[in-house]
Structure 1
Amino acid sequence: MESALYEWFVCNQQHTNISGELLKEKGNIFVRHLYPEAISFEFSNGWLEKFKQRHAIRSFRRFGESGSVDIEKIKASLPSIREELDKWAWKVIYNMDETGLFYRMQANNSFTTKQLEGRKQNKERITIVICCNGDGSDKLPLWIIGRVLKPSKVSLLVGIVNVVASWSIDVKPHTIKNCFKHCKIRTDCADDSEVTKELDEEDQRIVADLRNQIKELYYNNQMDMDVFLDHPNEQQIVYALTEE
């Protein structure tokens, strides 16, 4: 049982944080599977300490994110990376990385005249960027990645209010027509009245559906759909230059 437990420990220690309670529980599972008729075994703290001593198991604190890197892929990519780097001098090759700085966090240990109670650590942090070239001759100043105090974003509610405000004003039909022309949606070769008269039954159904949806929005100063679709010819907006 102990050999199976140790083999499981070795296979999972790289990707899983294994605690003493987890080891005892896993040992209990191995006992039930390997010796179903055996009397239940008590995995005490004393057994755990002896198991750790027999297999040279110690407790370490994990730091950073290097454990999430696929070592095999890194080894396979190293030859091509070195080949590319050999084309350049070390002074023009830069490496940049970011890390967190807990600038308000105090040390874990402190000199005192008596035992004092602990306090909650202030985990306020900033993200700094470190950049340096290959031979260390150019160490760039630290960059700080900050946040905007008031992000300039438009929420859904603000967007709805802006849309309502835009369509509540007195929008002239020729204004919409000019917008359609500039956006290449329509051209001057089409006669608006003729296009509207030639609407088939499917188009009429779409227009009626659109009209009903606009009525449900409860806009002030609603534009009539007929005015929107059958607007008059635009007035001339560009005039020839005169001597005046």
Structure 2
Amino acid sequence: MEKVVYEWFLQYQDRVNMSGELILQKAKDTMKILYPQQESEHQFSQGWLEKFKLRHGIKSFRRFGESGSVDVQDMEKKLEAIREKIDKFPMKDVFNMDETGLFYRLQADHSLATKQLEGKKQDKERLTVVICCNEDGSEKIPLWIIGKYAKPRCFKNVNMSSLNCHYRANKRAWMTSVIFEEYIRWFDSRMHGRRVLFVVDNCPAHPKNIEGLQNVELFFLPPNMTSKIQPCDAGIIRAFKMHYRRRFYRQVLEGYELGQSDPSKINVLEAINFAVSAWTINVHQDTIANCFRHCKIRSGDVLPRNLEDESVDIRELEVVINNLGYRNRMDVNSLLSYPGENDSCSEVQSLEEIVSTVLNGEDEVEDDEERHVEVVTRKEAIVASRTLHNFWLHVENTPPEIVDAIRKIRDELQRESTFQKRQTTLESYFTKLP
């Protein structure tokens, strides 16, 4: 119940005249929704209210219409105020975070977007991906990914800490105020011993009154300027999506070549792996730094003369899409700016919707439509590593770092195998003792 009331508070604090009486009433309304069969109305005391405020760091209520930032009418003056703020921090300590929707099974075919074609329709299963990086591109923060299902079947027996990302879930797979606050506190702990500026837009799911941050100063961009001056919107998200799509369509093409009936039906785990690889491997430091400079949010910023050439990656994406033989193929720009995909922040929800979102996030819900992937045994992994090693040894002009990486994988597999055998031997020895 308290999670629902707090989520409601975060969404509505800047939109209504917030008061203790209103919070108490919403607590009562929440109990009615959660327990509709209960005849008597649950009562909440002032003592409960004070403890609620204490638990969530609520020290005062801002009246509706009051602003937490200077109201400057002229856009150029607003930009100067932004520069003045950012100039106080070195580039390595200025971060921008933004969310983007991701239709992770999207087909590059206009026909599927408008009508059924041979029994198929456009798949708009979505994730929200939270992207964050600093101004000079030296730090790419691990992705947070938000899905619809708390525990998809494909997560079974998966070591989630090995994915190099964080996963959360709610009914819409959108950013919410609760997830945003959790993210900020997690980010604050990562910045231990530093003082950094966290630049973010004015999405309804981004509450402003997060108390107790030790290392992070939140800085909210003016809502009417976000599309022009937010670095993640200036090409960073586009680069991420291009590399995600490239990886996705390569696997789809590979699946058809291997005789799979519908290789585009990837599950959430596969989508997460594509997303993490695209972000950590393919989005380069120069791309990020150029996008920050392009926005001119620091004094002296000029448009970069030599933008990173992404034409090779785009050509590869186009070639793969052409090879898939779509009847009404999308061009790359349409594919990277698909209508509705970028909706990622929740609008203000009704109390009933908040209850549903909170309850859904706690349920163990499985996606029945996703493709099942067999768990690979250690023995199978060892055989596969040998096969890969032999393959690359016989490919002309193989980069040495590829073979070195496979050797490291084989060494780790052998180390694990040796440890397991040693454990088995010791256990067998001790069981034989009288």
- Give TM-score, length-normalised by structure 2: 0.17
Q: Which has the higher contact order (CA 8 A, sep 6+)?
A: 2
- Give TM-score, length-normalised by structure 1: 0.29
Give the structure with higher Rg (CA): 1
